[in-house]
Amino acid sequence: MSFRLAITSVAALLTAGIPAGLATGAAQAQQEAPEVTSTDLGDGLYMLSTGMAGNLALLTGEDGAVMVDDQLPNTGALIEGAVVEIAGESAPRFIVNTHWHGDHTGGNAHFAEQGSTIAAHHNIRRRLDEADQEWAQNPAILPIITFGQDLTFHMNGQTVEVVHVPNAHTDGDAFVYFREADVLHMGDVMFSGLFPYIDLSAGGSVDGYIAAMEQALAMVGDDTRIIPGHGPLSTPAELEASIAMVREASFRVRTLVEGGADLEALREAEPLADLHDDWNWGFITTDRFVQTLYNDAVGNAYSYE
């Protein structure tokens, strides 16, 4: 099932504080008439994707809808159209943010102004409150329920468990596990089949990212379906592959750095050359991932230049 609606402003994407690669992809998607693709996971639960921003989860039922993330600053109407078609209501009762980036929280204000209650980790509210990007200046974007370690919803026959994982993609990441449906939304702690974006400037770290993925793996069973922040609906085996890749890539880069290699020496050594064909993509290229691993290893608070 898919729902199509034009987005009104590419410029809004490029000024949203969204990483440039994702904004560029979103702009390209606009030119191709973006649409929301809905995957029915059963138990009133759906995965919503546009291919230009973070994947969403939507739980529907008599208790009202719960949505995980809400995409970009100017895609509110696009996502709203899908919610109306699926749930029969325009605004979810609750929205949970998995982290603060604008391709996951940009729709907060749109839905809050229609009555949705936004919940998120303390650090998500803090980062949104401190953000100087234009899209984050509407006070309605701020979550009004915040938590430290966990939060649980009991709705529509589901136990919805929200669990904070520290210093992974950012310092405010959370997993959302729909226990009875056995579906885990990992936010951007999983880029399925892709080199991940680890935002060192927002409290993310390579070790924290690996630890968070391993925590997710400990939470799931063989049949668990995983909604990644970006990429297709995934399996535990695909999560294991991501863990192995990041762990191996980090080991290679750190070994070279400990041996005295600077960034230019790393680039010449091409430590991730054999991973390029399978994991490189438009935003986090092989070179950008090498930069992220290097900057993390030497303590720089930025992912790439």
Amino acid present at 5: L
List, edge to edge, every strand of the sheet that includes 158-164: 150-155, 158-164, 174-178, 183-185, 225-227
pLDDT number for residue 22: 54
Residue 109 · residue 141 · CB < 8 Å: yes
Domains of the chain, CATH where assigned: 2-235 (3.60.15.10)
Residue 7, token pair as written in the block:
């987005």
pLDDT number for residue 14: 32
* 3-state SS assignment for residue 247: helix
pLDDT number for residue 109: 97
pLDDT in tens, the chain (305 residues): 443 333 333 333 433 445 544 554 444 444 465 799 999 999 999 999 998 899 999 999 999 999 999 999 989 999 999 999 999 988 999 999 999 999 999 999 999 999 999 999 999 999 999 999 999 999 999 999 999 999 999 999 999 999 999 999 999 999 999 999 999 999 999 999 999 999 999 999 999 999 999 999 999 999 999 999 999 999 999 999 999 999 999 999 999 999 999 999 999 999 999 999 999 999 999 999 999 999 999 999 999 99
The string of DSSP letters for 188-218 reads GG-BTTSPPP--GGGT--HHHHHHHHHHHHH
CA Rg value for the chain = 18
* 3-state SS assignment for residue 61: coil
* 3-state SS assignment for residue 125: helix
Residue 205, token pair as written in the block:
């770290």
pTM, two decimal places = 0.91
What count of other Cβ atoms lies within 10 Å of the Cβ of residue 268? 9
pLDDT number for residue 287: 98
pLDDT number for residue 90: 85
Apex 225 CA angle, 219 and 231, nearest 5: 110
* 3-state SS assignment for residue 123: helix
Q: CA-CA distance, 266 to 289, in Å (whole number)?
A: 12
E strand or H helix at 277: helix 276-279
How many Cα neighbours within 13 Å face the side chain of 207?
4
The tens digit of pLDDT for each residue in 230-263 reads 999 999 999 999 999 999 999 999 999 999 999 9
Residue 136 · residue 147 · CB < 8 Å: no
According to DSSP, the residues that pair with 234 across neighbouring strands are 226
What count of other Cβ atoms lies within 10 Å of the Cβ of residue 49? 22
